[in-house]
Amino acid sequence: MKKGFVYLVGAGPGDPGLITVKGKECVSLADVVIYDYLAGEQILDFAREDAELIYAGKIGGAHNHEQWQINDLLVEKALSGKVVTRLKGGDPFIFGRGGEECEALKTAGIGFEIVPGVTAAIGAAAYAGIPLTHRNVTTSVAFVTGHEHPDKDESEIDWQRLSLGSGTIVFYMGVKNLPQITSSLLEHGRAPDTPVALVRWGTRPEQQVLEGTLSDIAEKARKAAFKAPAITIVGEVVKLRETLRWFDSKPLFAKTVLVTRSENQAGEFSAMLAAKGARVLECPTITLLPPESWGAVDAEIERLASFDWVIFTSANGVNFFFERLAAKGLDARAFADCRICVVGAKTAAHLASHGIKADLMPSDYKAEGVVAEFAKLDITGLKFLIPQVDKARDVIPKGLAAMGGSVITPLTYRNSTPDNIPAKVLQALEEKRVDCVTFTSSSTVDNFAAMLGENRMLHFLEGVKVAAIGPITAKSCRDIGLNVDIEPEKYTLEEMTEEIVKYFTI
């Protein structure tokens, strides 16, 4: 049997955007991904659907696998012919035991490659606004373990040199031993007023920074119950944080926002909120499906040239309709004899991606706005095609028909309700860790209530701010007993994001 291959990949300190391009590629091509406690969960989304995912990190603070077991697992999977990606928090060779794993692979005759990652000291310090070197402060930095191997008879750390130098010192895994670390530095001559910063969960939305000096940081950490995982930064550069902090000064930093869009659409909105500093939880409440039969859509595609207007009320409608066009060997040229109306800038953008500019986009991004625009025209006898989702509001078809238009509304896609709420979302709701929940359509409201149960949902959302993208969605919220705190005047994700920011910063 052909031997496999192992990639040791540094996942970075937590922000999934900090993994390297090559690291991401290694995750996506792997048959097996063996990952650590500190490797960002979202990075696993890059793995193939059929990839085997094995957690080798800590559970309840204790190691799930001993190091020798991880070594054996890497060898076993590779010898079975698998491509294995060993995903490690930070960098594999900076206190990551990557060297030990490579030695085991080398002994077994298995090929491997190292993909460096952003180590915690660099990533967490940068996100805390602390430059580890600065030519006006210090030109050296040392990375030191704060937790040496328990079998050692004595410390291998040269406390004398560390203490008397002026360079920055970064201790990894040192929160538990912080009293001993600070005492050792003080005993060997480091000044008591030397600035110190502890950075917990660096680069993540839940990042915490505790500042002090060598003389008081251990006591501050004890009083604050400051826990691992964290790094300790010692040196004058810590003072620069007051000027350079950027990550934890974002307007939504430390706020948890629950996004209830469909799974394939949540990412865009989540990214907008995360850019403002929010901790985003995604709870897909809609699964988009094609119609059970394409017959009705196909029939209208065959006579598309006979329609005067095609109205797309959502980006999803555009996507599904064009997907069916392509399946039948057609493209944008099929619309040559039609004019096209869209509801909303997002729908217009999706249409434009297929090479078509909308002829009409009402300024009011809802069904009533479409009817109002066509009321300005004489549409008697005109034929309208409206690709629809199931359970769509009938405002547009009824309004156009009342003005003399002929309207066809083939079912183009369906909204289905997922079976379960993600466990991490349930836990956050139960522990009252959600600050804001967002609804971008009436379907997201109704489906969220159906998935949780209406009474349970109302209980979970007590004290949680509710953001609804427009009046129709807001009405759906109020109809089931929710108060709407945030409602943008323009019904776009960008405006929704800005309104959430305004609410939490005013």
CA atoms within 13 A on the CB side of 192: 2
For the record, the structure tokens of 227 come out as 């826990």
Cα–Cα distances in Å, from 192 out to 141, 163, 234, 344, 376? 19, 11, 11, 61, 77
Known catalytic residue: 272?
Answer: no
Token pair in block for residue 347 = 């729908």
Contact between residue 442 and residue 473 where contact means Cβ atoms under 8 Å apart: yes
Short-list 212, 231, 232, CA closest to 223? 212
C-alpha distances out from residue 334 to 253, 319, 342, Å: 48, 15, 17
DSSP 3-state of 451: helix
The residue to which tokens 């009436």 are assigned? 442
The token pair that represents 98 in the structure block: 């990557």
Q: Is 58 a catalytic residue?
A: yes
3-state secondary structure of 22: helix
Catalytic position from the list 15, 31, 36, 446:
36
Q: Which helix (H) or strand (E) holds 230?
A: strand 230-234
Other CB atoms closer than 10 Å to residue 344's CB: what's the count? 22
| Active-site residue identified among 58, 220, 383, 490 | 58
Judge whether 227 and 200 are in contact, CB under 8 Å. Answer: yes
Lookup: tokens for 80:
């079975």
- Per annotation, catalytic residue among 3, 24, 72, 173: 173
The whole-angstrom separation of Cα 236 and Cα 133 is 10
DSSP 443: H
CA distance 14 to 200: 11
Burial of 293 (0-12, 13-18, 19+ CB in 10 A): exposed
Active site residue 36: yes
How close are the terminal C-alpha atoms of the chain, in Å? 65
How is residue 239 annotated by DSSP?
G
Q: Are 67 and 95 in contact (CB under 8 A)?
A: no
Q: Is 59 exposed, middle or buried (0-12, 13-18, 19+ CB in 10 A)?
A: exposed
Which amino acids are annotated catalytic?
36, 58, 173
